[in-house]
């Protein structure tokens, strides 16, 4: 049976799922929240106990004045040292923006990380961020003061964001309060600092622990030309492709995703 606990160290919110087994931390991508990994975490019980983190400027975690991967990684590391990783290193799984944060955390705080899983992102600048800029502009352009119900937001976003699944994912960030609707994510900062989010800071360290790279078969974010950068920073890298998956590997192919984590993280106990 799962247990849930929240922590407020460094104003980061997290939820724990499971009460036994090796410890694994999940870091979500842009627009996401820790709870996006809830079903994955439940499927990994009882062998793994999970911590689902809301990254800064997302979910119930605090907003910051600016964005940087090193700074974000340090905040998460401080949060882990104060609680979930207080007794020793943990496994770390990060998707997209969370994957870059996880890479930085492993490079900057290797004592905290046993095994690292990077999901559909590479340690390089992504190039064009036009798709995400469009999504952020669409959300920011929504007049929240005129919404009477959540369905109104979905209807008004249907034209600029035609994919119903993407709209549903984004609208997880919409909260109803006593003063009306508001965005839980820090849209202003995410729009302003999108080039930083799409970028990758220089790193002169290496992480010499096992690393699994999971790429979506239909996604462009992990390419053969990125492999040199991966292996320079993470020499013990193994690459795997999840068939039938796009960028959101864990939601598009959850069974394959869970299976890959079980094999890779289970090997740590052997």
- Residues with catalytic function: 96, 188, 247
The helix/strand/coil state of 96 is coil
CB neighbour burial string for 193-230, b if at least 16 within 10 angstroms, e if fewer: bbebbbbbeebeeebebbbbbbbbeebebbeeebeeeb
The helix/strand/coil state of 185 is coil
The residue assigned the tokens 């109803």 is 176
Q: Please, are residues 32 and 95 in contact by the beta-carbon 8 Å criterion? A: yes
At residue 229's C-alpha, the angle toward residues 228 and 231, to 5°, is: 65
Q: Please, are residues 6 and 15 in contact by the beta-carbon 8 Å criterion? A: yes
At residue 264's C-alpha, the angle toward residues 248 and 44, to 5°, is: 65
Residues 6+ apart with CB under 8 A from 117: 91, 92, 93, 94, 102, 211, 212, 213, 214, 261, 264, 265
């Amino acid at each position: 049976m799962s247990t849930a606990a929240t922590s407020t160290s460094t104003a980061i919110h997290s939820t724990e799922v499971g009460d036994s087994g090796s410890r694994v931390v999940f870091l979500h991508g842009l627009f996401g929240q820790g709870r996006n990994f809830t079903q994955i975490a439940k499927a990994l019980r009882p062998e793994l106990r999970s911590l689902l983190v809301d990254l800064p400027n997302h979910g119930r975690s605090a907003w910051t004045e600016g964005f940087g991967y090193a700074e974000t990684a340090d905040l998460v590391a401080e949060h882990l040292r104060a609680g979930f990783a207080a007794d020793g290193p943990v496994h770390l799984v990060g998707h997209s923006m969370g994957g870059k944060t996880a890479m930085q955390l492993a490079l900057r705080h290797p004592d905290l990380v046993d095994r690292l899983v990077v999901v559909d992102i590479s340690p390089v600048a992504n190039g064009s961020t036009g798709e995400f800029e469009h999504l952020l502009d669409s959300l920011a352009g929504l007049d929240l003061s005129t919404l009477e119900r959540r369905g109104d937001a979905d209807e008004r976003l249907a034209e600029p964001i035609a994919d119903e699944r993407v709209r549903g994912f984004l609208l997880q960030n919409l909260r109803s309060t006593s003063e009306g609707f508001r965005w839980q994510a820090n849209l202003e900062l995410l729009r302003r600092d999108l080039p930083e989010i799409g970028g990758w800071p220089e790193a002169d360290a290496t992480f010499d622990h096992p690393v699994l790279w999971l790429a979506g078969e239909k996604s462009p974010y992990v390419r053969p030309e990125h492999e040199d950068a991966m292996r320079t920073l993470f020499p013990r890298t193994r690459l795997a492709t999840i068939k039938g998956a796009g960028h959101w590997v864990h939601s598009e192919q959850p069974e394959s995703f869970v299976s890959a984590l079980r094999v890779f993280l289970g090997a740590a106990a052997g």
